[in-house]
Structure 1
Amino acid sequence: MPDHLIPVMAGHLVRADPGFMSTIELPEYAPVPQSATGPALNEHGYYVGRVERNLYWVTDGGYQAAFLTTADGVVLFDAPPTIGHNLQRAIDEIAAANGVPNKVTHLVYSHHHADHIGASSLFGPDVVRIGHAETKRLLARTGDPARPAPDLTFDTKHALEVGGETVNLAWHGSNHTPDNIYIHLPGHETLMLIDVVVPGWASFAAFNVNVDVPGSIAAPDNALDYPWKHFIGGHLGRLGTRDDLTLHQHYLADIVDNVRTALATVDPMPFYARYGDNVWAAVKAYLDTASAQAAAPVVEKYSGVLGAADVFITSTVFVILESLRLDLGEGLYIHP
């Protein structure tokens, strides 16, 4: 690859000033284990594959969507803009091979974030869009024409029936976002839960930028309560398994245990003594030190097991540390 092109996401490049690149020193990270990688993309920059029976998934290596073919049309689950028009290309490819309709009649929103449904408008005004009631409220607030608000909403549960197929939609409380839902296809042994677990990988920056940390830690437990074999997590290149969610639970449990140890053993007073009236500097130094102490054993244990175990770990640990302090009240000092 030419040194003036930087891979931002699989299949997407941006130009950089070669002189600028020669003046910065990029960090080294542990190799990504083979178990984290997915299938190769085609010449159009996507991969489409069967999950189970007439359920298929699409990826561009960075994002994932899925679709269900039926005699009455196609049900699409999410519409990431990085995949964009390749969603319809993938649907056309499968429909032509199987002799089924290629018209998207229903589009299920996992949640309101633009990176997962920002290509919704490509499917026109005649598609029935389904999502949580909070998704509709949040999209009404943004007014983004690329993300039309859902036509059909629900609060806790909804059974979507199209062409003899049933899709169970459920909300079990906030996690990654206030509106993120569980999409269960019992006839296809599949669960879709976006932005909570990335199979084969450690968490993205700041613990996946989750708005509800306790809810996100609990979400894999809720997911494993469902019967399923295949898992669609919304990101990167491969499908998941139940073992992937169990591994993610262990990863989070180790982070939480190490954070509790750091909160109990790192003394904040030397940092306040060092920085005097610059309180933010003292707090930053204390939290950085505690986060680094908690992160180190996680990196050692999961490098070579989860992709990018050493990349976003400090920011993820910091977010979980702050949640333990602020959401759960752990590690706070009572003035005598």
Structure 2
Amino acid sequence: MSLGVTGTTHNHGARQATFLPEYARVPSSAFGPPLNEFGYHVGPIKGNLFWVTDASYQAMFLTTETGVVLVDAPPTIGPNLIRAINDVTSANGRPSTVTHLVYSHFHADHIGAAVLFGDTAEYVAHRETERLLRTAGDTNRPVPTTTFQDTYSLQVGGERLELAYHGPNHTADNIFVYAPDHDTLCVVDVLSPGWAPFQHLMVSQEIPNWIKANERIMEYSWSTFMGGHAGRLGTREDARLQLGYLNDLTASVRAVNDAMDPLRYFVKYGPSGNSYASLKHYLQDAAQQAAEPVIAKYIEQLAGVDVVTADNAYTLIECLRNDAGFLPGIFGLRQS
């Protein structure tokens, strides 16, 4: 099946939402530095390592004696990546050509501007990224020219990045990018400093391993973290805060699942045989109940926590039920 848009299009009309809720203010701690007139910020991390953001997405790059090593190329930043690199290299006198582009993973929202760097760059990624990009067939995301399975030490012009694959998490191919000489770790779509994890735990594919990735982040030695999203860099306290959020949400989900009575959902929809309706509303209400104490605890600490936590709770309910085998009440083993 092709995902391309072909054939006749049909305009069914756009239906506007009749109600848009209000949410808590975004804590000032979630915001990063102001953007320049072109809509980006570029700044140093440490030594010859720099980062660039448009307040929604992030990339980082190393200037070296022989060229630039770029990590990710988000399309929302687009040509501003080139401007940012030129800003830095014109100031430090190093070459501005991007000789290597490291893909954190295959998703287009993080590497969809890779095409800007043409055929001369070396594209470095996990082996699974190569397979996924060949399947996608997206010319904006060139297929990697260098791949690895477990670890890869990328050494260019007197600088280095250590790449590691710790198994699937957000996606099947998502890697850790470590700059040990610059005390910096990059793991995309796991931790967005200052913010609660986006809906359904960053729309991740392997939830148990995604949670383990949060724990593994703390096993590395670093003081600066880049997560690919939001407008600022992260600290170890940001990582600890998210682990606390995940632990609290897991505990709340377990408690609600143990205590919640599903009877009224089956009384309402059971006579019609609509088991989908019974389960949908049971699970949605359980997620909302589990989310409420967690929202109250983190409302002043994590931006968007009131926006996404019920969705995150729903994902954890399904993860605990199907992946971990936590089967309370109606989901448990039927006794004869």
CA distance in structure 2 between the aligned counterparts of 1:80 and 1:260, rounded to whole angstroms? 37
- Give the 3-state SS of the residue equivalent to 1:166 in structure 2: strand
CA distance in structure 1 between the aligned counterparts of 2:204 and 2:16, rounded to whole angstroms? 35
Superposed, which structure 2 residues align to 1:144-293 within 5 Å?
Answer: 144-276=138-270, 277-293=273-289
CA distance in structure 1 between the aligned counterparts of 2:152 and 2:224, rounded to whole angstroms? 21
Can you list the C-alpha shifts for 1:26-60, whole angstroms capped at 9, x where unaligned?
A: 21101111111101000000000000011000000
Report the alpha carbon displacement of residue 24 of structure 1 after superposing the two structures with TM.
3.0
Structure 1 residue 30 corresponds to structure 2 residue 32: no
- Give the 3-state SS of the residue equivalent to 2:302 in structure 1: coil
Amino acid at match of 1:155: Q
- Give the 3-state SS of the residue equivalent to 2:307 in structure 1: coil
Candidates 294, 310, 317, aligned match of 1:314: 310
Superposed, which structure 2 residues align to 1:86-125 within 5 Å?
Answer: 86-125=80-119
Residues 23 and 105 of structure 1: is their aligned pair in 2 closer, same or farther, counting only changes over 3 Å?
closer
Report the alpha carbon displacement of residue 21 of structure 1 after superposing the two structures with TM.
11
CA distance in structure 2 between the aligned counterparts of 1:150 and 1:320, rounded to whole angstroms? 34
* Counterpart for residue 126 of structure 1: 120
CA distance in structure 2 between the aligned counterparts of 1:149 and 1:265, rounded to whole angstroms? 50
- Structure 2 unaligned regions, length at least 5: 1-13
Residues 44 and 284 of structure 1: is their aligned pair in 2 closer, same or farther, counting only changes over 3 Å?
same
Report the alpha carbon displacement of residue 99 of structure 1 after superposing the two structures with TM.
1.0
CA distance in structure 2 between the aligned counterparts of 1:266 and 1:288, rounded to whole angstroms? 12
Report the alpha carbon displacement of residue 206 of structure 1 after superposing the two structures with TM.
1.4
Residues 184 and 23 of structure 1: is their aligned pair in 2 closer, same or farther, counting only changes over 3 Å?
closer
- Structure 1 unaligned regions, length at least 5: 1-19
TM-score of the pair, normalised by structure 2: 0.93
CA distance in structure 2 between the aligned counterparts of 1:264 and 1:23, rounded to whole angstroms? 35
* Counterpart for residue 294 of structure 2: 298
Segments of 4+ in structure 1 off by > 6 A?
20-23
The percentage of aligned residue pairs carrying the same residue is 49
Residues 21 and 28 of structure 1: is their aligned pair in 2 closer, same or farther, counting only changes over 3 Å?
farther
Structure 1 residue 52 corresponds to structure 2 residue 46: yes
CA distance in structure 2 between the aligned counterparts of 1:175 and 1:224, rounded to whole angstroms? 15
Amino acid at match of 2:21: P
- Give the 3-state SS of the residue equivalent to 1:310 in structure 2: helix
